[in-house]
Structure 1
Amino acid sequence: MPKQASSITTLLSSLSALAEANPSRPARAPLRIHFPGSPSPTTVSTPGTPLSKDAAALPPSYSISATALSNITLPNCDLSPVSSHHDSSSGSSSAGGHSRRGSEASNAAGQIPHYLVICLDLDPPFPSFPVLAPILHCLEADLRLETEELDADEGYVYLTADEVAGGSEGIRHSRQERRTKPVVGYMGPKPPGVSSPHRYVFLCWEQPGGVDGQKVREVLGLDGGGEGEEEGEDVGMTKRVRFDQEGFEKNLGLGEVVAGNYFVC
């Protein structure tokens, strides 16, 4: 099996240190994972949160801590976690009570980067014998910061893919908008029944210049997919199992991980 990428090892170490820093309070990871779920949605804020297969079955969306974006100036948006004011004149709010204020970050001036998020199962088929690790469970590119949907109390900003014109294609994330397809469609957790819990880790990077969804597809050799295919159907298990994460990062020129998190199932 491929050696575990240093980015994963570093992220897990940092999340562990975060939890140890204040053991009396649940740690909050810089990346939150939002699952639509049934009968109610589930948000993974604390690293290592246990989830059932059903709770993590549908494609998630993400929000990132403002503290992880300290090198970015967001136009017309107050990112202070303690701020409680918002644009009451609009009267709009996002699902779950998140306040909407400011304006969407524009990439036109090149100030606001796009982001890439990947999910990997680190423990297949068994944590004690992970010969299939890691398995690629999803990969989304061209995500942008949606500063209209800042959670003022928690200090997180949503990441969102561009909306599909006309809403006739794409997928629905947990926030119910019609969005462009991911590079690799989401596959829910499916650990063997006799296995102890697996770790499903999510990592987020800024996309380097010249990297977009199409470039990621080229690197993964996914250019053969035709129009009209279902989400992720062109990405079989052979491309997901024993995913070369280290080589993937090198070929795309990815830098340090901006934010990450994981759950267990």
Structure 2
Amino acid sequence: MPKQASSITTLLSSLSSLAEANPSRPVRAPLRIHFPSSSPDSSSPTTITSPGTSVSKDAAALPPSYSISAAALSNITMPNCDLSPVSSHSSSSFSDSATGQHARRGSEASNSAGQIPHYLVVGLDLDPPFPSFPVLGPILHSLEADLRLETEELDADEGYVYLTADEVAGGPEGTRHVGGRVTKPVVGYMGPKPPGVSAPHRYVFLCWEQPGGVDARRVREVLGLGAEGDEGLDGEVGMTTRVRWDQEGFERKLGLGEVVAGNYFVC
């Protein structure tokens, strides 16, 4: 089986360190994973904030959206936008009269180089078919590119900024989530499907800031998925692409740097 990528090892180690440093309270990972309800009859949507949260297959069945902790965005500037908790700066917050949710006004974010950043998120199953014998791992469960910070509506109460697909991004039409956020997968989301006799699997999600010259089109080229606009391009790929995913090689080909944020759940 492929050697586990150093990005995954580093993320899991940092999340474990957070938990050890805060044993008396739940850990808040730098990336939150938001799953919509799987049916009209189901309960409220599921948000994964604490790493290692146990989630059912049904709760994680549909494509998720994401939000990043403001603390992980130290190199990002958002003019006229204060990401500190609303309770500390109530004069700069506003309330949506329709939803009652607090948010912050913002404008286009830029990174330390003055560029508007975009993000790439990869979701992986680390433990197929069994955690004790993961010879098929990791399996690629999702890959999204051209995500941007949603600076017009910030979850300032929690200190997280939502990600949404760039409006001009090519590729599949995408999935629209609560709050109007959109995801447009390069590789479509595949829900957790651990064997019934298996111990729970770890499903890890990692987020990078896209380097210059990297976008959804470039990611498709690297994966050999065809160019934007090709007939049948809908983010769906076969299991041969997903199984035994070479995460280290993928990062190297795209020139990805350090992980900006990440999280994982078990199922």
Structure 1 length normalisation: TM-score? 0.89
Identity of aligned residues (%): 79
Counterparts of residues 67-216 of structure 1 (less than 5 Å): 67-81=71-85, 82-86=88-92, 88=94, 92=96, 97-105=101-109, 110-163=114-167, 170-175=173-178, 177=180, 179=182, 181-216=184-219
CA distance change for structure 1 residues 241 and 94 in 2, over 3 Å: closer, same or farther? farther
2:259 equivalent to 1:253: no
SS class of match (1:262) = strand
Q: State how far apart, in whole Å, the 1-side matches of 2:59 and 2:70 are.
A: 26
Q: State how far apart, in whole Å, the 1-side matches of 2:161 and 2:149 are.
A: 7
Please list the CA deviations of residues 52-76 of structure 1 after superposition, one character each: whole Å capped at 9, or x if unmatched. Answer: 0000000100000111001111112
Q: Give 1:14's aligned residue.
A: 14
Deviates more, 1:132-141 or 1:38-47: 38-47
Q: Which runs of structure 1 show a deviation greater than 4 angstroms over 4 or more consecutive aligned residues? A: 93-96, 224-228
CA distance change for structure 1 residues 264 and 173 in 2, over 3 Å: closer, same or farther? farther
Q: Contact between 1:163 and 1:177, CA under 8 Å: does it hold in 2?
A: no
Deviates more, 1:31-40 or 1:128-137: 31-40
Deviation at 1:208, TM superposition (A): 0.5
Q: State how far apart, in whole Å, the 2-side matches of 1:104 and 1:94 are.
A: 24
SS class of match (1:150) = coil
Please list the CA deviations of residues 2-31 of structure 1 after superposition, one character each: whole Å capped at 9, or x if unmatched. Answer: 100000000000000001101010000000
Unaligned runs of 5+ in 1: none
Q: State how far apart, in whole Å, the 2-side matches of 1:230 and 1:96 are.
A: 39
SS class of match (1:160) = strand
Q: Which amino acid aligns with 2:214?
A: V
Q: Considering only aligned residues, what root-mean-square deviation do their CA atoms show, in Å? A: 2.4
Q: State how far apart, in whole Å, the 2-side matches of 1:230 and 1:249 are.
A: 23
CA distance change for structure 1 residues 113 and 221 in 2, over 3 Å: closer, same or farther? same
Deviation at 1:183, TM superposition (A): 0.6
SS class of match (1:7) = helix
Q: State how far apart, in whole Å, the 2-side matches of 1:35 and 1:94 are.
A: 22
User: Which of 239, 242, 252 lines up with 2:241 in the alignment?
Assistant: 239
Q: Which amino acid aligns with 1:41?
A: P
Q: State how far apart, in whole Å, the 1-side matches of 2:91 and 2:6 are.
A: 40
Structure 2 length normalisation: TM-score? 0.89
Q: How many equivalent residue pairs?
A: 258
Q: State how far apart, in whole Å, the 1-side matches of 2:99 and 2:139 are.
A: 31
Q: Contact between 1:93 and 1:99, CA under 8 Å: does it hold in 2?
A: no
SS class of match (2:103) = coil
Q: State how far apart, in whole Å, the 1-side matches of 2:206 and 2:97 are.
A: 28
Unaligned runs of 5+ in 2: none
Q: State how far apart, in whole Å, the 2-side matches of 1:136 and 1:238 are.
A: 10
Deviates more, 1:215-224 or 1:42-51: 215-224
SS class of match (1:147) = coil
Q: Contact between 1:204 and 1:257, CA under 8 Å: does it hold in 2?
A: yes
Deviates more, 1:15-24 or 1:154-163: 154-163
Deviates more, 1:223-232 or 1:19-28: 223-232
Q: Give 1:47's aligned residue.
A: 51
SS class of match (1:142) = strand
Please list the CA deviations of residues 89-133 of structure 1 after superposition, one character each: whole Å capped at 9, or x if unmatched. Answer: xx63797835242234379x9433111000000000000000000
Q: Which amino acid aligns with 2:241?
A: K
Q: Which amino acid aligns with 1:12?
A: L
